[in-house]
């Protein structure tokens, strides 16, 4: 192995000199170019600094060279040992030719190694020198600067500290005062803000709560109303449907019943005692007759009924004529409920029960109230026979009469005179129930040789129309007979014009069928009692009865002069008619019948019954 120590030493020395020159240059650059060092006084960068730097550099170089040489020596020894071992191995393993090649390789490697080592040593030496010089220069400069600056700083610090303390104290005082002011202002502002916010918040919460509650209630009410409306609509629709179905069924059922009754009426033998022979009637509004005329219907006699808004036609034909077929034919043309077709039925005043001239005067049969507060005379209409207005009891009474029978007919006057006297007689020896009343007497009875005193449906309709046009308040009908479609319709129209109609219950006896017009719903049915408040023995009974009044043994004027006593339900009607007329004159438009029913004396079974109705009429209890 070749030992390289002379080469190594030379490389080290060369590197150190290069490092020294570089360090010196670096120190000068640092002193001249650093901004901090430019503040150092000029005397600090003179010869003393150069000497110190050179001494420090020499010491550092020596130490570095020693350390580097020692390290290189150690490495060289190690390498020499390794080379010796390798030589011995080569001698054992290689031959003479191989030896020569190996020597050439070693020489080449040594040259390259020397160059590489020299470069490495130079680089290390330069780096060490530079770092050493830089550190030394920095330490020396820092020491000089520290000493110089410390003195100046101490002087400046005293002044600066005093000024700083003063400024700090002032600032602290100012800050303290400002903090206190700010705290106070903050507290006050915070309190004001808190109060304001609290008040605003309360108002806002209250408003929002109120709004929320209102909206909740509105929504709840709306939901409930909507559900209620939907349920109500559903129920209404269901109810309407049920009603429509019920009405349809009822209408169909009524039509079937009408057909059956009409057929029975045609099949059964007609009671010629209750109809006018060879005549039937049609009543409808005027335009209906125009439609019938277009279809070829011709009528013998046509009468206008202006107060009723109707027109009445009489058709000649035998009583055995099939009225059902006629009715169906008319209704097929004009439609149901637009026209009424029926016989011209006849009505009677009932059996006359004439006694002696002694009897119970009307004003003795019932207690009358004192003079009322009416400012005008009550207007009462009556449909009966002719009135003997020349009778002394009626001579001074206010009576207007009109006949509704044929001009050549014989007019009876017994029954009409009796009823008129009970109502309006005004004689010194005999007074009726209301002497100041204005009485409108419609004569509808005529004498028939076979059937006695009778009144036809035609005469009744014409009389009723006249009384309505005369603006009467109450109509007294003291007759009875069979039902009639035309009469029923006319009475409904009278009721719709607030005309109160009262009629006799009938004198057919306890088991007799209901009598008309008293049995119609629009008419007040009046029955008769005696002085002992017992029912008249021939009076009809039934659920249609409304009220009872005196009607047995009543004293009344006799046509042609004098007085007589008679009994019957027709004589009881004037008591109820005059009571209603008096109330209407004092209380126009009042529900007078309810007052009369509530004030009646209950007779017979409790409440309304089929004998006395609501009870006995009492005028003083009203």
**CATH, residue 308:** 3.30.70
- 439 and 535: one domain? yes
Question: Rounded mean pLDDT of 27-56?
Answer: 45
- 525 vs 88, higher pLDDT: 525
Lowest mean pLDDT among 29-33, 223-227, 258-262, 413-417: 29-33
Share of the chain above pLDDT 90, in %: 42
Taking residue 235's Cβ as centre, other Cβ atoms within 10 Å add up to: 10
- 465 and 553: one domain? yes
List the domain range (segments joined by +) for residue 480. 348-599
Position 283 scores a pLDDT of 94
Residue 298 in domain: yes
Q: pLDDT of 564-574, one tens digit each?
A: 999 999 999 99
CA 245, CA 330: separation in Å to the nearest integer?
27
What Å distances lie between residue 520 and 78, 421, 505, 575, CA to CA? 156, 27, 11, 20
- 332 and 387: one domain? no
How many domains, the chain? 3
Residue 64 in domain: yes
- 66 and 31: one domain? yes
- 60 vs 381, higher pLDDT: 381
Query: pLDDT band at 35, cuts 50/70/90?
Result: very low
Query: pLDDT band at 24, cuts 50/70/90?
Result: very low
Question: Rounded mean pLDDT of 462-478?
Answer: 97
Q: Check pLDDT > 50 for residue 523.
A: yes
In 3D, which of 466, 582, 594, 603 has the Cα closest to residue 527? 603
- 482 and 506: one domain? yes
Q: Check pLDDT > 80 for residue 548.
A: yes
Q: Check pLDDT > 60 for residue 597.
A: yes
Residue 263 in domain: no
Distance of CA 98 to the CA centre of its chain: 124
Backbone angles phi, psi at 620, to 5 degrees: -75, -15
- 621 vs 160, higher pLDDT: 621
Q: Tokens 């002087």 sit at which residue? A: 155
Residue 320 in domain: yes
- 148 and 278: one domain? no
Q: Check pLDDT > 60 for residue 360.
A: yes
415 is catalytic: yes
- 111 vs 143, higher pLDDT: 111
Position 14 scores a pLDDT of 46
- 368 vs 345, higher pLDDT: 345
Position 449 scores a pLDDT of 86
Buried-exposed string 485-517: b where 16+ CB fall within 10 A, e elsewhere: bbbbbbbebbeeeebbbbbbbbbbeeebebbbb
- 280 and 408: one domain? no
Position 93 scores a pLDDT of 46
Position 107 scores a pLDDT of 72
Position 28 scores a pLDDT of 34
Q: pLDDT of 397-450, one tens digit each?
A: 999 999 999 999 999 999 999 999 999 999 989 999 999 999 999 999 999 888
Question: Rounded mean pLDDT of 501-526?
Answer: 96
- 334 and 439: one domain? no
Question: Rounded mean pLDDT of 604-610?
Answer: 94
Query: pLDDT band at 149, cuts 50/70/90?
Result: very low
Of 288, 319, 343, which residue sits at a domain end? 343
- 277 and 396: one domain? no
- 367 vs 182, higher pLDDT: 367
pTM listed for this prediction: 0.58
Mean pLDDT of the residues in the chain: 73
Contact by Cβ (8 Å): 569, 504: yes
Q: Check pLDDT > 60 for residue 196.
A: no
Provide the pairing of β-strand 301-305 with 310-316. antiparallel
Question: Rounded mean pLDDT of 491-498?
Answer: 97
Residue 258 in domain: no
- 176 vs 389, higher pLDDT: 389
Query: pLDDT band at 195, cuts 50/70/90?
Result: low
Position 614 scores a pLDDT of 98
Residue 290 in domain: yes
Q: Check pLDDT > 50 for residue 5.
A: no
Question: Rounded mean pLDDT of 319-335?
Answer: 69
Query: pLDDT band at 296, cuts 50/70/90?
Result: confident
Position 294 scores a pLDDT of 82
Q: Which of 80-84, 95-99, 139-143, 606-610 has the highest average model confidence (pLDDT)?
A: 606-610
Q: Which helix (H) or strand (E) holds 133?
A: helix 96-267
State whether residue 332 is helix, strand or coil.
helix
- 128 vs 74, higher pLDDT: 74
Q: Which of 415, 465, 473, 567 is catalytic?
A: 415
User: What DSSP state is assigned to residue 43?
Assistant: G
Sheet of strand 445-448: strand arrangement: 301-305, 310-316, 275-284, 339-347, 452-456, 445-448
Residue 183 in domain: no
- 161 vs 387, higher pLDDT: 387
Q: Which of 421, 456, 566, 570 is catalytic?
A: 570
Position 299 scores a pLDDT of 81
403 is catalytic: no
Position 272 scores a pLDDT of 54
Of 120, 145, 177, which residue sits at a domain end? 177
- 420 and 557: one domain? yes
- In 505-562, DSSP assigns E strands to 523-529, 547-550, 554-557
- 60 vs 229, higher pLDDT: 60
Position 257 scores a pLDDT of 54
Q: pLDDT of 573-586, one tens digit each?
A: 999 999 999 999 99
Position 268 scores a pLDDT of 38
384 is catalytic: yes
- 316 and 432: one domain? no
Residue 217 in domain: no
Position 161 scores a pLDDT of 32
Query: pLDDT band at 157, cuts 50/70/90?
Result: very low
Domain CATH number, residue 523: 3.40.50.200
Contact by Cβ (8 Å): 344, 274: no
User: What DSSP state is assigned to residue 210?
Assistant: H
Query: pLDDT band at 603, cuts 50/70/90?
Result: very high
What Å distances lie between residue 432 and 143, 394, 477, 525, CA to CA? 158, 9, 17, 21
Position 142 scores a pLDDT of 60
- 499 vs 229, higher pLDDT: 499
Lowest mean pLDDT among 71-80, 337-346, 529-538: 71-80
Sheet of strand 379-384: strand arrangement: 398-403, 438-443, 379-384, 474-477, 500-504, 523-529, 547-550
Of 291, 317, 343, which residue sits at a domain end? 343
Q: Which of 340, 342, 384, 473 is catalytic?
A: 384
- 433 and 545: one domain? yes
């Amino acid at each position: 192995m070749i030992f390289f120590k002379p080469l190594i030493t030379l490389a080290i020395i060369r590197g150190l000199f290069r490092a020294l020159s570089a360090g010196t240059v670096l120190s000068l650059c640092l002193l001249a170019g650093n901004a901090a060092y430019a503040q150092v006084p000029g005397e600090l960068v003179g010869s003393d600094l150069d000497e110190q730097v050179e001494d420090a550099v020499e010491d550092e170089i020596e130490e570095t060279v020693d350390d580097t040489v020692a390290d290189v020596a150690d490495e060289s020894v190690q390498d020499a040992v390794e080379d010796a071992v390798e030589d011995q191995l080569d001698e054992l393993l290689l031959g003479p030719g191989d030896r020569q090649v190996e020597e050439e390789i070693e020489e080449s490697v040594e040259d390259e190694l020397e160059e590489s080592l020299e470069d490495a040593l130079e680089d290390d030496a330069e780096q060490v020198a530079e770092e050493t010089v830089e550190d030394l220069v920095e330490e020396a400069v820092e020491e000089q600067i520290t000493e110089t600056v410390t003195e100046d700083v101490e002087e400046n610090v005293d002044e600066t500290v005093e000024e700083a303390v003063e400024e700090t104290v002032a600032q602290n005082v100012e800050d303290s005062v400002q903090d206190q002011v700010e705290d106070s202002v903050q507290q006050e502002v915070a309190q004001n803000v808190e109060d304001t916010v609290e008040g605003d918040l309360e108002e806002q919460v209250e408003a929002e709560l109120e709004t929320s509650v209102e909206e909740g209630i509105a929504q709840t009410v709306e939901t409930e109303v909507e559900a209620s409306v939907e349920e109500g609509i559903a129920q209404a629709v269901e109810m309407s449907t049920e009603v429509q179905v019920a009405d349809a069924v009822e209408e169909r059922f009524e039509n079937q019943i009408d057909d059956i009754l009409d057929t029975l009426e045609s099949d059964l033998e007609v009671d010629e005692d209750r109809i006018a022979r060879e005549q039937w009637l049609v009543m409808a509004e005027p335009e209906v007759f125009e439609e019938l005329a277009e279809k070829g219907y011709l009528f013998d006699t046509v009468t206008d009924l202006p107060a009723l808004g109707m027109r009445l036609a009489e058709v000649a034909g035998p009583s055995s004529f099939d009225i059902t077929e006629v009715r169906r034919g008319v209704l097929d043309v004009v439609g149901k409920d637009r026209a009424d077709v029926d016989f011209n039925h006849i009505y009677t005043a009932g059996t006359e029960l004439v006694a002696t001239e002694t009897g119970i005067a009307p004003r003795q049969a019932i207690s009358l109230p004192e003079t009322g507060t009416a400012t005008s005379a009550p207007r009462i209409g009556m449909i009966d026979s002719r009135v003997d207005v020349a009778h002394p009891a009626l001579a001074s009474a206010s009576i207007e009469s009109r006949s509704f029978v044929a001009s050549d007919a014989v007019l009876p006057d017994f029954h009409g005179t009796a009823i008129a006297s009970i109502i309006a007689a005004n004689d010194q020896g005999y007074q009726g129930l209301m002497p100041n009343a204005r009485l409108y007497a419609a004569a509808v009875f005529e004498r028939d040789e076979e059937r006695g005193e009778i009144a036809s449906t035609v005469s009744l309709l014409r009389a009723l129309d006249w009384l309505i046009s005369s603006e009467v308040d109450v109509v007294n009908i003291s007759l009875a007979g069979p039902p009639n479609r035309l009469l029923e319709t006319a009475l409904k129209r009278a009721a719709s014009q607030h005309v109160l109609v009262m009629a006799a219950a009938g004198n057919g006896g306890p088991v007799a069928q209901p009598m008309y017009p008293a049995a119609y719903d629009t008419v007040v049915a009046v029955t008769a009692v005696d002085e002992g408040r017992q029912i008249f023995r021939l009076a009809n009974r039934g659920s249609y009865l409304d009220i009872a009044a005196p009607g047995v043994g009543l004293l009344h004027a006799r046509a042609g002069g004098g007085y007589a006593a008679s009994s019957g339900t027709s004589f009881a009607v004037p008591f109820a008619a005059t009571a209603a007329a008096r109330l209407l004159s004092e209380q126009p438009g009042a529900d007078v019948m309810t007052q009369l029913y509530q004030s009646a004396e209950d007779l017979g079974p409790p409440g309304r019954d089929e004998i006395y109705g609501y009870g006995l009429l009492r005028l003083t209890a009203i």
